[in-house]
Amino acid sequence: MQNACIDFASARYLGFRHASTELEPWRELTTGVPAVLREPPGAGAVTRSIAQLAGAEHAAVFPSTLHLFWDLFQHAGGPSDLVAYDDGIYPIMQWGIEMAGVRRGVSHRRFAHHDPGALARLLRDHQCAGRLWIAVDGFCPGCGRAAPLGAYAEIARAHGGALVVEDTQAFGLLGERGGGSLMAQGVRGADTVMVASLAKAFGAPLCVVAGARERILRLQRESETRVHASPPSAASLAAAKAACVTNAREGDRLRQRLARRVAHFRACAAGLGIAASSAQSAFPVQRCWLDDRQRARGVYEELARRGVRTVPQQSRCGPRTSITFLVRADHSFENIEDALTTFTRVSRTCRRVTSGERRPW
């Protein structure tokens, strides 16, 4: 085991680091001007690249998914409108849906994870007189499956609604040139909206939203956070621009490099008898299952003491608990072997932790 820490807790899947010396310089970190009055310098280059990558007419940037989802579902309007959402969605998207209910009276109902049939039954039971939004994640790292976006898009069209795909996990990894889940499944149209944080595959801490031009322009005009919150910083925009440039030039090579490391992780885990993520998941979020949360806490803390950083998780789409390894393109094969060997030793000897401070997982 190496003395240096091996970090499997960072979700910068393609290995982007964005050191200040690698980015274009900026004259001011922030303009102090709300984005509703003036887009920050560099935003245009990023949004054009993202729209092209996502196969969309237009795109916009927000400081975070929290800012974006605060605004997005409140456009649904009022009690006659409905947001139907997958019960395993990203929590911040759910917060935005719930806030739309509190502030605008927008109705919201959940349906079973990755189940278009359950969605269709929900819409039969809850007639939507106004606007319909269907909200899902593009890829679920909990169960290692892509959402059936084609089926959801058909349902949205049949009801004159829109499909919103939170694609933070998949954007930059899946689809042609990393264009995301909608591109990977060949789902396009004016009734789809893609939302993604670039903080994962692209390593840039800001959010992008892409879709039909008029829908995105309206969102920009009516956004509250673009009035009352600062726009993305010059540093975040420079990192996003650099990631887009690098992705266009060598993104496919980085995705292939990542795929080899994920395959190596899975082969090593199988060889060590570790119960890892489902067999069909070649995604970089690799979950090693444990029998309960308290034992997972003990394993996590002992791994950290031994220099292996991981992520303890309770699945949103099921009752299972895991120690999760986020595999990156810049991991070495030796990193992976050392980390899994250490996990095997720790998980075989670590007992439940029954005291200590409360943790959020």
* Domain boundaries for CATH 3.40.640.10 within the chain: 35-246
As a whole number, mean pLDDT of residues 331-345 equals 97
Who wins on pLDDT, 280 or 275? Answer: 275
Per-residue pLDDT of 153-166, as tens digits, reads 999 999 999 999 99
* Domain boundaries for CATH 3.90.1150.10 within the chain: 6-13+250-349
Residue 136's identity, in one-letter code, is V
Does residue 3 surpass a pLDDT of 80? Answer: no
Asked if 224 contacts 192 with a C-beta cutoff of 8 angstroms, the reply is no
Which secondary-structure segment (H or E) carries 111? strand 107-111
Which secondary-structure segment (H or E) carries 287? strand 285-290
| Residue range 35-246, CATH number | 3.40.640.10
Give residue 280's pLDDT band: very low, low, confident or very high (50, 70, 90): low
pLDDT of amino acid 205: 97
pLDDT of amino acid 260: 97
Structure-block tokens of residue 155: 């349902």
Does residue 53 surpass a pLDDT of 60? Answer: yes
Give residue 143's pLDDT band: very low, low, confident or very high (50, 70, 90): confident
pLDDT of amino acid 75: 85
The domain defined by 6-13+250-349 folds into: Aspartate Aminotransferase, domain 1 (3.90.1150)
**Residue 61, strand partner residues:** 208
Does residue 354 surpass a pLDDT of 60? Answer: no
pLDDT of amino acid 106: 95
In this prediction the pTM is 0.93
Per-residue pLDDT of 25-37, as tens digits, reads 999 999 999 999 9
Structure-block tokens of residue 302: 């002992």
Write the CB contacts of 204 (distance below 8 Å, at least 6 apart in sequence): 16, 18, 198, 236, 237, 239, 240, 242, 243
Does residue 4 surpass a pLDDT of 90? Answer: no
Least confident of 42-46, 61-65, 69-73, 318-322: 318-322
Structure-block tokens of residue 286: 């690799």
Per-residue pLDDT of 171-229, as tens digits, reads 999 999 999 999 999 999 999 999 999 999 999 999 999 999 999 999 999 999 999 99
Q: Between the CA atoms of 325, 330, 334 and 335, what dihedral angle is there, to the nearest 10 degrees?
A: -40
